[in-house]
Amino acid sequence: MRVDVVAVGTELLLGQIVDTNSSWIGEQLAAHGFDSLLQIKVGDNLGRVETAFRGALAAADAVIVCGGLGPTHDDLTRDAIARVMGVELEMHDDIADRIREMFSARGRYFAENNLRQAQVPAGAEVIVQTRGTAPGLICPVTIDGVEKVLYAVPGVPHEMKEMVERAILPDLHARSGEVAVIASRTLRTWGDSESGLNEKLDPIIAELDTAGNPTLAFLASGWEGLKIRLTAKAETAAEVDALLEHWSARVQEVVGQHVFGFDDDTMESVVLDMFRTRGLTLGLAESVTGGLVAGRLTAISGASDVLRGAVVSYASEVKFEVLGVAPGPVVSETAAAEMAVGARRVLGADVGLALTGVAGPTEQDGMPVGTLCVGLAIGDDVLTTTMRLPGQREQMRQMSVINALDYLRRQLIARQ
């Protein structure tokens, strides 16, 4: 079954908002075994929106439309769907009452144009809104005598995701007649390139191409790591689990320690779990990253049982006076080592991790832009490494976070 995606909104074309919704929807469709061959964006013009819907429906079995369901004059998705269906819009009093109640409960002024969100193309099924005001829609459409379906969801990401998972994916499975169970497992990796992993996995990919099940795909996710996704299909959940278990183990054998986690794991969540398992605490000293490592760790609930704290030693004087770094160049492995020892001492932690480097725009201490020096005080050892990272200032800083945490992870594994 082919399911394509249309994103509505002039702001998407102008680059004022990045269309992350379409990419997320595409990922979910792939994970559920649906083909998605086209994603398009269209501005807030009724004629062009209608044309985009008709064109997408001509090629696909189903289309998911994201955006254009709000209360303002330029929210035109409902009107365009009604044109494609050849029907009128109908006011749904139950939706209108719910919208009024929501405004009243929040003590907000109610503008009458909010009732535009209660208008539904005749014959469409409503996807009840649980987080906002605009409901979603399931709209049967006949194109050249062929029955198809058009789904519409709000552009607000958390509203869209909830509707896709709760209503649209189950409806697609029901319409497709697919009785198989489809599931995915994602191996999260760091430390090798997409091309490098592809080359290593070529023999396994060849086997999977022949077998046809499961499928393997790569997804580069910047400083979140490189994902290897396996998607399997079988008649029962047990069979799917067995397939994923077998092939993920095969992939792991080849990829080795580059695999740091699975599915929803992040580098920081994995490191925190490793510290908990070992009963260790962590203290940070951050210069080039300015607190980004601490921010990533503390974004995870329960991090306080591992992370003692962080010293953001951005100024050289803080390195010297607080952490006990000897005066001299501050972008060096020597400085990183002394920062790590100082962080462990000052914060009363079992392990000290330090980052110092050059994010740019100019070199420092004779070190080029992109230099990262990591120091690690662990047990009786003080370890250091220097990395050369790509990208502009912000990319280099974010890459520093995951590289330093990966260095820490690998050292913990080496001490098992």
Give 70-100 pLDDT, tens digit per residue: 999 899 999 999 999 999 999 999 998 888 8
For the cut 70, the answer to whether the pLDDT of residue 338 exceeds it is yes
Mean pLDDT of the region 15-33 = 90
Tokens (6 digits) for 154: 């709000």
Work out the pLDDT band at 40, boundaries 50, 70, 90.
very high
Cβ 375 vs Cβ 384: under 8 Å: yes
Work out the pLDDT band at 115, boundaries 50, 70, 90.
confident
Mention every residue, 6+ apart, whose C-beta is less than 8 A from residue 31: 182, 183, 184, 229, 231
In angstroms, the CA 337 to CA 355 distance is: 9
In angstroms, the CA 62 to CA 35 distance is: 10
Within 13 A of 73's CA, how many CA atoms are on the CB side?
0
For the cut 90, the answer to whether the pLDDT of residue 131 exceeds it is no
For the cut 80, the answer to whether the pLDDT of residue 137 exceeds it is yes
Backbone angles phi, psi at 293, to 5 degrees: -65, -45
Cβ 98 vs Cβ 92: under 8 Å: no
In angstroms, the CA 31 to CA 133 distance is: 29
Task: State the architecture of 181-262 in CATH terms.
Answer: 2-Layer Sandwich (3.30)
According to CATH, where is 3.30.70.2860 located in the chain?
181-262
Give 201-231 pLDDT, tens digit per residue: 999 999 999 998 999 999 888 888 999 999 8
Cα dihedral across residues 404, 406, 407, 413: positive or negative: positive
For the cut 70, the answer to whether the pLDDT of residue 168 exceeds it is yes
- Any idea what DSSP says for residue 134? P
Q: How many helices (H) and strands (E) does the chain have?
A: 15, 17
Mean pLDDT of the region 379-399 = 95
> Which class would CATH give 267-414?
alpha beta
- Which among 132, 52, 119, 110 has a CA at the least distance from the CA of 92? 119
For the cut 80, the answer to whether the pLDDT of residue 178 exceeds it is no
Backbone angles phi, psi at 100, to 5 degrees: -60, -45
Predicted local confidence at residue 233, as pLDDT: 86
For the cut 90, the answer to whether the pLDDT of residue 298 exceeds it is yes
In angstroms, the CA 81 to CA 85 distance is: 6
Predicted local confidence at residue 104, as pLDDT: 82
In angstroms, the CA 67 to CA 240 distance is: 34
- Which among 52, 63, 57 has a CA at the least distance from the CA of 142? 57
- Fold adopted by 3-176: Molybdenum Cofactor Biosythetic Enzyme; Chain A (3.40.980)
According to CATH, where is 3.40.980.10 located in the chain?
3-176
Predicted local confidence at residue 179, as pLDDT: 66
Instruction: Please give the share of the chain, as a percent, with pLDDT higher than 90.
Output: 80
- Which among 10, 22, 24, 33 has a CA at the least distance from the CA of 63? 22
Work out the pLDDT band at 159, boundaries 50, 70, 90.
very high
User: Judging by DSSP bridges, how do beta strands 226-234 and 215-220 pair with one another?
Assistant: antiparallel
Predicted local confidence at residue 44, as pLDDT: 96
Cβ 123 vs Cβ 87: under 8 Å: yes
pTM for this predicted structure:
0.75
Mean pLDDT of the region 29-55 = 93
For the cut 80, the answer to whether the pLDDT of residue 180 exceeds it is no
According to CATH, where is 3.90.950.20 located in the chain?
267-414
In angstroms, the CA 80 to CA 212 distance is: 39
